Structure 1
Amino acid sequence: MTDGSGDAGGAPGDAAEDGGTTPGDASDAADGDASSAAARTARDRAERRILPALAAGTVLLLAVLFYYPVGTVLVEAVRVDGRYTLEVLVGVLRDPFYLGDLAGLFAGESPLAVAGRLLGPDRRLGIVGFTAYQAALSTLASVALGLPGAYVLARFEFPGRRTLRSLTILPFVLPSIMVAVGFVATFGDDGTLNAALSAVGLPTVDLLFTLEAVVIAHAFYNAPLVTRVTTAAWESVDASAVETARSLGAGPFRAFRDVVAPQVYPAVLMGAALTFVFTFGTFPIVLALGGFELATVEVFVYRLIRNLEYAEAAALAIVELAVSLGLLYAYLRYEARHTVRSRGVRPLPRHRLLPASPSFGQALVRVGVAAYALVALTVFLAPVLSMLLASVTGPDGLTLEHYRFLVERQRTGAAFQVRPWPAVRNSLLFGVGALAVALPMGVVVAVLTTRDYRGRKLVDAVAMAPLSISGIVVGLGLLRGLVFGVEVWGTRIAVGGALAVVAAHAVAGYPFVVRTVGPGLDALDRSLVESARALGASRARALLDVELPLVRPGVVAGAAFAFAISMGEFSATVVLATGTEQYTMPIAIERFIGRRLGPATAMGVVLLLVTSASFVVIDRFGGETGGL
């Protein structure tokens, strides 16, 4: 008993000496637990509000940088000399110069009479009709050139296939004015095409300032887009479905028609729809290769702006917006219904492009692939190689005179002249600024458009509207709104030219971030997110720690797209930079090409190197990504 009571009596002291809990320690621990719980509660509350706050900020930014400027343009069309009127807009709709025979509908003529003239041999298309006509031809050429490429990439295995697949999107983000310089160097009177024809004794051709040159240039741009989206769909076809059809007696053609084609043609239509939207709003290529003889709606909007005829320019822009937004809405609805998902499928096996002992049928296919490769190499490589060659070629052969001209212009150029280094510096600074705005905007919009809730399609359409709004319209809206200044509660707020250019570039680039990040988020295994949430992670924490790391390639690719698109943006920049020191490399090229082709090609090579370097990021860190 004595030993037991002594042990019992000594226990508290021993416990205290060994670090046991005293009443004061217990109180401190309780206070610490309460403080920790309060901190966790505050942190959880803050994390729950992060996504709504980011969404609200993105919506506000999009409203200020895009919808308000575009709305300003729309108001310009109906508010003339301080009063609201539809006279200018109605005048444009009734003008045969703009709408051709279709203008009769708005002038009160019978639809049957208008249709009869449109179907007759003497029909008049007008500027809008010609724009749609060249866009339709460009779409057909892009699909015809891009579809065989998708077949080769999806169905054959060969060295360099993955690299070639990654490069299919590169022409699409190359600066359009640089492509125009390449086509001038190829199809001009002294271009490489005529030089090659003369070398073999054939007559030369005059393709510059023709519709054919414009269509080929548009195919250069958009055929890779058709190839990429169609390849992704083809690689998502389940091989077991094809095998089942073959086991039931279907031949190769019928298995393709009944199983493969229904899963591939929606992607072809998507690529065609996007191509039509992009080529309907074309500007730099037509301006450089077609001139005002083949002017599109966009060229005339720019011309009216240069003549300070803002109301008529805005009215014509409304017509363009109506066509583009209608097509974009139809495309998004179609995409929502025919999205091809690759989860849980076994892709079709690829065949060797050069088998050891090909059959007769295989040999014919290979001959067709070789012929296509020859055409594709001519269309895709000739402009770039011609530009490179023209930059180091003069009347007396190889020379670096064009690059020396750029150095000399930088050293002694007058204040009103475009100099190379400010153009390069501005392009880089605007690219970094646009990336800083476009990347978080794109990621937030991608999150919003990949969640299941009512109204998601509307959010997607609203967020993707910049794809269908031309840079000229955005530039005009920023110029007439934020740059000229806005009255807010008696205070005039104006945004400087550099910030306006960054805003225009960010608006042009962020949809591509959405289109590269969104498919990755949509394809993630939702159980991973649910597990993180079950372990106590907030919605924002699950996004940052689970989802975004898994779609890192798409985020990196989206960043590269946004930067490259900013580097090559021309349409909005030419409106905002006119008469200022905010010119970029594309603006410098346009100024040079109007006077001397050599310096323009040299500046184009500089722009090509800088733009292509941004895609090294994709190869190094991004890998193959979905979406665009």
Structure 2
Amino acid sequence: MPARQVAERLSAPALAVVTLALLALMFFYPVGTVLVEAVRVDGAYSLATVVEVLRDPFYFGVFAQALDDPAVVVRSFPDYRLGLFGFTAYQALLSTIAAIALGLPGAYVLARFEFPGRRTIRSLTALPFVMPTILVAIGFVATFGASGVVTGALQSLGLQVSSFTGTLGIIVLAHAFYDAPLIARITAASWEGIDAEMTETARSLGASPLRAFRDVVIPQLLPAILTGALLTFIFSFMSFAIVLALGGLSLATVEVWVYHRISQLDYGTASTLATMEMLFSLALTYAYLRYEARQRAAGAARPPDRIDLLGPATKRRLFAWGYAVVALVVFVLPIVSLIVSSVTGPEGFTLRNYRFLVERQASAYAFQVKPLTAVTNSLLFGAGTLLLAVPMGVFLAIVSTRQFSGRKLIDTLSMAPFAVSGVVVGLGLLRGFVFGTEAFGYRFTVTGALAIVAAHAVGAYPFVTRNVAPALAGIDDSIVESARSLGASRARVMRDIELPLVVPAVLAGTAFAFAISIGEFDSTVILATGDGSYTMPVAIERFIGRRLGPATAMGVVLLVVTSVSFVIIDRLGEGSGFGG
């Protein structure tokens, strides 16, 4: 057999081995390290820490108390103590409700109205997948903090308001800001797929507009709403940067408390809490993926015509314009406040915050956060992430479109990083590789920078997969069969025909991976501790605790980089595979 044919036959298995080896090293081994550490005490396997956490009311509230005294459930009703896990779920539930309330009207406007810029606004609903959460946090601090735009405006009216940060309400609103576009994106796609004839038939049979909406439209929208709600709950439950910046330890969720225990070098408790959270989020993500797979809907036979938003005043148009005002305040104000705060001070317009960044870079003190170093690190880590995430994502996309025994298992395992928080991955890499691991008689260690690239690649490659897989699945089978009938091997068909056809999807996935790396905060803030591997999001978090101005200036720099990535995504593809 010619060497070329042998190479073609071996290329796919070799790529599979390399991809699985990278996944094992960068994800499964670190996560396994966290799992093992949760059940290992003083060198021996033990559930002592797990039992201690389960029985501690601080973590599980009334449920922990009920293990010793079940009657407490009755006695304390309805004033239950939630505990850390209960509060995390509670704020995630409130955030999901707020996101639905804010996102559903947006879905209606996008699906039923025609207006200039509609396609651009629709593409902006992909922002939750690329906008760094720390950017949302600093935007809300600039809006609602002690020196925020809204706080200052209320004070100028004579109201005694100091700050809205540090409250549950502001955390819920920030989560709604982040997740409502996702609800709108998923629900709008479903709304556009409802056949107009079904509603018209209901109306012709005597149903009022409200009843037709209730009996015909809502049942068809409900699967999309539930899908978006479940995804939003997962995101809010695992939220870290937003809660850390806006709530701190006083409103800590599981993620924030894990980070706190890591900072206190209590790795046993941190691993136990991270494991419990991970198992819960994995169960939720599995439910989401199963539910999403069952709700793939076919296109509508005749979608209803969109209403021109610019026309005589009607109830529908007034509703749409009213929502536009609300959306402008909720979605645009934090970003505008961020930009305004970066160029203003007590004396008015100023560039001193940007001068501070330049001067800080020239500082001789090595321990200080240097902005240019943060930018350079972010770009370098982004490039390193692409080298790992893009080949892995493309290969797993190929696997997900092939029919073979065990494909579903591999597909599920490959998407597992989506359900595991960056804090867990960062903790596992810190304990497993940065601190060193024994194997084959040697102690293997990696630098914080390499660990950060690995963590970013783990978080980014599923988005490459979800962009490329639909494009591969959409290729006409007859093209592939024709090439095979002419003697081309399967590897050559993939190289010469299929991959060239999905180049736009690969490029869109590449842009996604880069944007996710640039904005990744959860794992980076753990792995960059104590060295010079900090990135732009970490620099923002460190500035927030000192002065708002430099933090907002750094936030604007991150916003520019993220916006450029988003424009590339918008030009090259239709966005993330999540939610269609």
Q: TM-score, normalised by structure 2?
A: 0.94
User: What is the Cα deviation at residue 201 of structure 1?
Assistant: 5.5
Secondary structure, counterpart of 2:362 in structure 1: helix
Give the equivalent residue in structure 2 for 1:7.
Answer: none
Secondary structure, counterpart of 2:443 in structure 1: strand
Listed one character per residue, the Cα deviations across residues 211-255 of structure 1 (whole Å, up to 9, x for unaligned) are 011001111111111112222333344556666767777765565
Listed one character per residue, the Cα deviations across residues 512-541 of structure 1 (whole Å, up to 9, x for unaligned) are 222222333334443333333333333333
Moved more, 188-197 or 576-585: 188-197
Does residue 597 of the first structure (1) align with residue 548 of the second (2)? Answer: yes
Give the equivalent residue in structure 2 for 1:116.
Answer: 74
Of 148, 169, 177, 1:212 maps to 169
Secondary structure, counterpart of 1:311 in structure 2: helix
Give the equivalent residue in structure 2 for 1:328.
Answer: 285
Partner Cα separation in structure 2 for residue 229 and residue 117 of structure 1: 43
User: What is the Cα deviation at residue 270 of structure 1?
Assistant: 1.5
Does residue 280 of the first structure (1) align with residue 241 of the second (2)? Answer: no
Asked if structure 1 preserves the Cα contact closer than 8 Å seen for 2:385 and 2:453, the reply is yes
Give the equivalent residue in structure 1 for 2:458.
Answer: 507
Query: Where in structure 2 are the equivalents of 1:227-626 lying within 5 Å?
Result: 227-238=184-195, 256-257=213-214, 260-342=217-299, 345-346=300-301, 348-354=303-309, 356-357=311-312, 363-623=314-574, 626=577
State the AA in 2 paired with 1:477.
G
Distance verdict in 2 for CA 1:624–1:73, change over 3 Å? closer
Distance verdict in 2 for CA 1:48–1:339, change over 3 Å? farther
Secondary structure, counterpart of 2:420 in structure 1: coil
Of 91, 94, 99, 2:60 maps to 99
Partner Cα separation in structure 2 for residue 51 and residue 259 of structure 1: 48
Distance verdict in 2 for CA 1:116–1:440, change over 3 Å? farther
Of 8, 26, 30, 1:69 maps to 30
State the AA in 1 paired with 2:359.
E
Asked if structure 2 preserves the Cα contact closer than 8 Å seen for 1:69 and 1:477, the reply is yes
User: What is the Cα deviation at residue 443 of structure 1?
Assistant: 1.7
Asked if structure 2 preserves the Cα contact closer than 8 Å seen for 1:77 and 1:311, the reply is yes
Moved more, 94-103 or 489-498: 489-498
User: What is the Cα deviation at residue 623 of structure 1?
Assistant: 5.0
Distance verdict in 2 for CA 1:374–1:271, change over 3 Å? same
Number of positions where the alignment pairs a residue of Structure 1 with one of Structure 2: 579
User: What is the Cα deviation at residue 336 of structure 1?
Assistant: 1.8
Partner Cα separation in structure 2 for residue 198 and residue 295 of structure 1: 28
Partner Cα separation in structure 1 for residue 510 and residue 422 of structure 2: 20
Listed one character per residue, the Cα deviations across residues 539-579 of structure 1 (whole Å, up to 9, x for unaligned) are 33333344334433332222111111111111111111100
Does residue 57 of the first structure (1) align with residue 18 of the second (2)? Answer: yes
Identity across the alignment (%) = 61
Partner Cα separation in structure 2 for residue 244 and residue 609 of structure 1: 50
Asked if structure 2 preserves the Cα contact closer than 8 Å seen for 1:553 and 1:623, the reply is no
User: What is the Cα deviation at residue 202 of structure 1?
Assistant: 5.5
Partner Cα separation in structure 1 for residue 195 and residue 13 of structure 2: 38
Please report the RMSD computed on the Cα atoms of aligned residues, expressed in angstroms.
2.3
Asked if structure 1 preserves the Cα contact closer than 8 Å seen for 2:111 and 2:306, the reply is no
Does residue 43 of the first structure (1) align with residue 1 of the second (2)? Answer: no
Give the equivalent residue in structure 2 for 1:191.
Answer: 148
Partner Cα separation in structure 1 for residue 403 and residue 25 of structure 2: 27
Partner Cα separation in structure 2 for residue 49 and residue 239 of structure 1: 52
Partner Cα separation in structure 1 for residue 372 and residue 415 of structure 2: 34
Secondary structure, counterpart of 2:116 in structure 1: coil
Distance verdict in 2 for CA 1:211–1:592, change over 3 Å? same
Distance verdict in 2 for CA 1:388–1:496, change over 3 Å? same
Moved more, 223-232 or 212-221: 223-232
Partner Cα separation in structure 2 for residue 419 and residue 529 of structure 1: 53
Give the equivalent residue in structure 1 for 2:119.
Answer: 162
Asked if structure 2 preserves the Cα contact closer than 8 Å seen for 1:553 and 1:624, the reply is no
Partner Cα separation in structure 1 for residue 75 and residue 512 of structure 2: 45
Partner Cα separation in structure 1 for residue 577 and residue 270 of structure 2: 38
Asked if structure 1 preserves the Cα contact closer than 8 Å seen for 2:463 and 2:577, the reply is no
Unaligned runs of 5+ in 1: 1-37
Does residue 174 of the first structure (1) align with residue 138 of the second (2)? Answer: no
Partner Cα separation in structure 2 for residue 519 and residue 267 of structure 1: 19
Distance verdict in 2 for CA 1:236–1:47, change over 3 Å? farther
Asked if structure 2 preserves the Cα contact closer than 8 Å seen for 1:554 and 1:626, the reply is no
Distance verdict in 2 for CA 1:276–1:478, change over 3 Å? same
Partner Cα separation in structure 2 for residue 250 and residue 543 of structure 1: 54
Partner Cα separation in structure 1 for residue 203 and residue 453 of structure 2: 55
State the structure with more CA Rg: 1
Q: TM-score, normalised by structure 1?
A: 0.87
